[in-house]
Structure 1
Amino acid sequence: MSYEDLEVWRRSARLSATLYQQMKDLRDFGFRDQLTRSGLSIPSNIAEGYERDSDKEIARFLTYAKGSAGELRTQILIGIEAGYVEKPDGQQWADEALQLGRMLGALIQRHKRE
């Protein structure tokens, strides 16, 4: 199975692209950079893990991706409070980041058992 076949990778890649599109005009470059980097880190770490040779390595990189999902959710929630992110969009993105984290947690457990 390729990482591109994983729903969690497809959804995280879509979320990352959305963040880049929606935040492109934000003038706080530091915040924008941090938010888009954490979003990009999720599918990137999934891909890197699946390109490794062992379940242990896959699980390790999936753990990094899960951490990035938590980081992203936090940044989105702060962005809402700071007025950088519209609440309806931000809540949808934060909910998606939470779901991605849960999906990654289940996938991590599967690779730890194999």
Structure 2
Amino acid sequence: MGVQRFEDLKVWQKAQDFSVIIYANFKNNKDFSFSDQIKRASVSISNNIAEGFDRSSNLDFKRFLYISLASNSETRSMLYLAVRLKFISDEISEDLIEKSNEIAKMLSGLIKSLK
């Protein structure tokens, strides 16, 4: 039957889960600007997958998947900075970076499947 809705995409599901974990880890962070930016970047991953899915062509969908991939990279970059700023531990960061890398691989695979 295939994928009928963006909610059926495993990468969208993982991106949603990732955002929930990001929110949980930065909810008590006193640096509002940093916390807000990493949360918004993480939410942008799943939102761009969803928005692109309902576009009129695979070309449009791919464009949004690339935006999603970039938001994922932004989030991952901020995770490295979060460790340096001592906002999160190395252990938490390593787990989140691993999740981010998995999402990146899934997005890249989806992009390649649309070519």
**Quick check: TM above 0.5?**
yes
Q: Which runs of 4+ in 1 moved over 6 A?
A: none
- How far is 1:44 from its partner? 0.4
From the two aligned structures, give the one with the greater helix fraction: 1
Cα RMSD (Å): 0.9
**What is the count of residue pairs matched by the alignment?**
112
User: Residues 63-84 of structure 1, C-alpha deviation per residue, up to 9 Å, x if partnerless?
Assistant: 0000111111110011011100
Once the two structures are TM-superposed, the CA of residue 28 in structure 1 deviates from its matched residue by 0.2
Q: Following the alignment from structure 2 to structure 1, what is the Cα–Cα distance between the partners of residues 50 and 69?
A: 13
- Structure 1 position 4 matched with structure 2 position 7: yes
Match of 1:18 among 17, 21, 29: 21
Choose the corresponding residue for 2:37, options 34, 38, 42. Answer: 34
Q: Distance in 1 between matches of 2:35 and 2:114?
A: 33
User: Any unmatched runs of 5+ in structure 1?
Assistant: none
The secondary structure found in structure 1 opposite 2:65 is helix
Aligned twin of 2:113: 110
Distance of 1:21 and 1:97 partners within structure 2: 16
Structure 2 unaligned regions, length at least 5: none
Residues 77 and 91 of structure 1 are in contact (CA less than 8 Å); yes or no, is this contact kept in structure 2?
A: no
Aligned counterparts of 1:6 and 1:107: Cα–Cα separation in 2: 10
TM-score by length of 2: 0.93
- TM-score calculated relative to the size of structure 1: 0.94
| 1:48 alignment counterpart | 51
- What secondary structure does 1:101 align onto? helix
